[in-house]
Amino acid sequence: MTNYLQRLTEKSSLSVQEMQDVAEALLSKEITDSEIAAYLIALKAKGETVEEIVGIVNALRKYAMPFSNPIPYVMDNCGTGGDQSNSFNISSTSAFVIAGAGIPVAKHGNKSVSSKTGSADVLEALGVQWNLPQEKLLELLEEIGITFLFAPFVHPRMKRIMKIRKELKVPTIFNIIGPLLNPITLDTQLVGTYRRDTINKLANVLKNMGRRRAIVMTGAGSLDEASLAGENYLAILDEGMITNKILHPEEVGLPVIENSEITGGDCNENARILLQVLKGGKGAYRDTVLLNAGIGIFVTGKAASISEGVKIARESIDSGAALNKLEQLIKKSRVMKQEVI
């Protein structure tokens, strides 16, 4: 293992198998916290390759809580985090809009690591219970069409790494791979990353993982979400082929709005914004969700274009379907929590 660390510090890349060996070591009790931190920083400084990302994802998913898909065509729209934008919880809000359009969503997420408020923080503030047995989480997906998978809960072996990540206070390979570790086998996926240089890498990793369709994107201003501020860079995976696209919000009928207009706050403030959007409130928050949910709906194939996806997203909000998904998730998860106490 010392040899692997030395190679990384010398900017030498590892193979898929070597990276799987590193991941196994990161999960072992023998390695020290400082050694784990050294690996994370060395990888970040060198720059992660497709092979290294595939290797660590393959290893870590083996130790995740096992899930069997109760329904087909499940998607996730988890972002990497790490953009330091302090935006509201865009992907979490968009997940309910996508689910409201009739698309099953297994939302994978975490509490805040390198951002102010993570998806788990805002959903907890809304009253969603995520600390539930595996069969209950699957039941939510099957009955409601949306479930939330709290990363440390479904990846119990990674608890120590999570602690070190939080202490480092900088994005690492775990920000990049976080969206790839969903323990449910996904059909389609939308991944946001603040690092434009990784979008094709991640698209190739998703191809390797067997996704039918996927989009990896970096928003204007290096957001890990699609942004209304200008050009968004997309890598689109469709049946094994990867193409690139630059998307401007005006192309899909949405206004240009600076990223400073979509800042959020603590979990309670972001919960208020999420509810405001789902209840039909107009403005920058809503339009940002329409763009992101529209892209998510398009990647599943339910919409023939992103413009049509935005239209379907608008109907999901205005009909009350998106809000209904949130209300059902809160109510049903609370009942389940009482059942297991």
Q: Which residue positions form the known binding site?
A: 79, 82-83, 87, 89-92, 107-115, 119, 165, 224-225
- Residue reference for tokens 């409201």: 100
Distance of CA 312 to the CA centre of its chain: 21
- What DSSP string describes 141-175? HHHHSEEEEEHHHH-GGGHHHHHHHHHH-S--HHH
| Three-class secondary structure of residue 140 per DSSP | helix
Q: Which contiguous run of DSSP H or E holds residue 235?
A: strand 232-238
Binding-site residue ranges for 5-phospho-alpha-D-ribose 1-diphosphate: 79, 82-83, 87, 89-92, 107-115, 119
Contacts of 117 (CB under 8 A, 6+ apart): 89, 264, 265, 266, 267, 270
Residue 151 — φ and ψ, nearest 5°?
-50, -50
Are the beta carbons of 123 and 304 closer than 8 angstroms? Answer: no
Binding-site residue ranges for Mg(2+): 91, 224-225
* Token digits of residue 253: 């009928």
b (16+ CB within 10 A) / e for 100-113: bbebbbbbbbbbbb
* Token digits of residue 236: 């689109």
Binding-site residue ranges for anthranilate: 79, 110, 165
